[in-house]
A and B are shown apart, each in its own frame.
Chain A
Amino acid sequence: MTTTPTIEPKAGRAQLDRKTTRPLLQIENLDIHFPTPNGLARVVDGCNLTINHNELVGIAGESGSGKTTLVEAILQIIRFPNRISNGRVMFSPDGNEPVDLMQLNKRQMRRMRGEHIAYIPQGSMNSLNPVMRVGAQIVDAMVDHGISDRQAKEKVPGLLARVGLEERVARLYPHELSGGMKQRVIIAIAISLEPELIIADEPSTALDVNVQRLILEALANLRQDMNVAIMIVSHDLPVHAQLVDRIGIMYAGQIVEAGDIRSTVKKSLHPYTRGLMGAIPSIGGPRERLGGILGTTPSPSNWPDGCRFHNRCPHKMDICTSVQPLLVPLAAGPRTVFGEEIDVLAARDVACHLYPESTPEGAAT
């Protein structure tokens, strides 16, 4: 088995500059609501996010912030009784007309999944069929999408090599594999139809740190080898910090901050992102008491008025309780927030009243 080389940050950035300016997936004002006995649960509510071609984008947020529901909606695999009541998800793969995924019928969507958008659900490595050899399971998806059995079988060794597995693994059963190997097999299935976008939901959460690093590096290498965009959903900010180009921070069904990873984690603009970063213990340096974020995530059937973070926010102002801030790009330039000067360089989006642009026009201040 080959050891995947470490990602060179420089090489990653260069690629980013060259290729990632064209949007591949644009989520616009997406709402996903569930009718429940306790009223309408607005699990995803006014969500906006763009993923560019060949880009690695992370989604981070606490449990219950709607991360998984968001990706399930993109793939239209969300379960009854959901209601996607508003919004568009424009998908623009190369050589194809842009389509709104929300308007596709079942048959069109089934072709989209796998062929154009691959999905690695949370914990999927435990869903491999225990009575089928791994190779046969990789072939399955391809045959379903119209590739002949023979061609599909020929592709298996190459796919396994891509994710750093030997050819003999194809003849093994899932119980003969370690967790890391199973996850690699899942990735091999995901890339078997050469999608433009891979969505991975918590791809490394149940794995040990060593294995986690190998899996994430294998994913990152795919971006370079296969010209694919990858969306990684994880609650683990350090994982994003090591892996992605851009990150969206999700809170209460909305993206509250989005921007390139370096400035978002180092000079966070939103108090929620600050709180998340402040709760991460790091090794080395002085051991300071971590803050954590007070309070609990609000319930989707009863989001707070105004800014949804206001009752946990250390920077709460009067306006925060009544007016919802908009996710807007900030103008470049230096600003003073949280008692420190932040030079806003690249395009960074934030939804917080600390930034005047974010307050809707005409709202009482």
Chain B
Amino acid sequence: MSNPPLLQLEKATTIFGRGASETVANKDVSLALDEHESRLISIVGESGSGKTTAARCLLGLQKPTSGQALWRGKDIYKLKKQERFMFRREVQAVFQDPYGIYNPFYKINRVFDLTISKFKLADGNTEKLELIDDALKAVNLRPHDVLGRYPHQLSGGERQRVMLARAYLVKPKVIVADEAISMLDVAVRAVIMNILMDFRENLGISTVFITHDLSAAYYLGGDIMVMQRGRVVETGSSVDVMNNPQDDYTKLLLSSIPSPDPDQRWGSAPIPVAAAD
């Protein structure tokens, strides 16, 4: 057998609560990312479908009730200290809220300084500044627009790009982006998605992209996993799935997406009430 996958969910089932209030957030979710073949995987579904729980399992933030979350074949929740450190370096997260993630008392530089000192990326100040410069350029930010400023002085798109720059700094293998574009303006969403696509193409960084926006998943390409009520209902290449959806739930999601063309009206298929309210 070849090397174990870099990051893997193996029949992960996550259950919250017990008895009557038991909620199955994830049921037998499996997913694998290989080290040498970078991929873009979009996980889509409505609120409550378990997308974020799956992401949290991958990030080592939520231990599955049964099944496993594996990093290089080892259980993420049983890593030794040194392994855990490497795991944290190789798997980076970008979250939804670019406003809540920053400590408003510190300048933006601190985000980079902490990362660099934690992972001992640089010897001396010059090298540090070069690294930061390089990371900011990778996300199309000009260093003097960002450094030395406070979070409230940046726009949402800029803050989210700073988060991507921070991830870039440690040269991760995987970025888990949980609704990273949902709080941003349309014009900026495209910019963020382009960065993720470039990361994959130029640097071989895989992305697990959690979103409720199917058009974003289509744009990113790669693979897609459609989730409903904790289960994976459809997987495949995102272009195939969207052009030819097999599952009823996927079809429903697709027919509800508003098209930017007024001549292409919302699908006329009525929405089953159970799925809506």
Which A residues have a C-beta under 8 Å from some C-beta of B? 1, 3, 6-7, 9, 62-64, 178-181, 208-214, 216-217, 235-239, 241-243, 261-262, 265-266, 275-277, 279-284, 287, 289-293, 296-297
Contacts and interface: CB of A to CB of B under 8 A. Distances in A.
A280 B193 CA distance: 12
B275 A213 contact: no
A117 to B, nearest CB: 26
A184 to B, nearest CB: 8
A312 to B, nearest CB: 9
A279 B186 CA distance: 6
Contacts of A180: 276-277
Contacts of B253: 209-210
A180 B274 CA distance: 12
Contacts of A7: 265-266
Interface stretch (B9-17, B18-26, B210-218): B210-218
A190 B239 CA distance: 41
Contacts of A235: 185-186
Contact of A241 (B261, B268, B271): B261
B100 interface: no
A180 B263 CA distance: 26
A214 B272 CA distance: 11
Contacts of B270: 3
Secondary structure class of chain B's binding surface, majority of residues: helix
A185 to B, nearest CB: 12
Interface residues of B, number: 45
Contacts of A62: 185-187
Interface string B198-224: 000000000000001011101101000
A281 B216 CA distance: 6
The 7 A-B residue pairs with the shortest CB-CB distance, nearest first, are A281-B219, A290-B190, A238-B258, A292-B190, A208-B46, A293-B187, A209-B256
B103 interface: no
B260 interface: yes
Contacts of A261: 262
30 contacts: A3-B271, A6-B268, A7-B265, A62-B187, A64-B155, A180-B277, A208-B46, A209-B46, A209-B253, A210-B46, A210-B275, A211-B277, A213-B256, A214-B277, A238-B258, A242-B262, A242-B266, A265-B261, A276-B187, A279-B186, A279-B187, A281-B193, A283-B242, A284-B218, A287-B218, A290-B194, A292-B187, A292-B189, A292-B191, A296-B157
A282 B215 contact: yes
B189 A279 contact: yes
Given A208-B47, A235-B186, A291-B190, A282 B260 contact: yes
A281 B266 CA distance: 16
Interface string B105-149: 000000000000000000000000000000000000000000000
Contact of B258 (A178, A242, A290): A242
Contact of A238 (B158, B257, B263, B271): B257
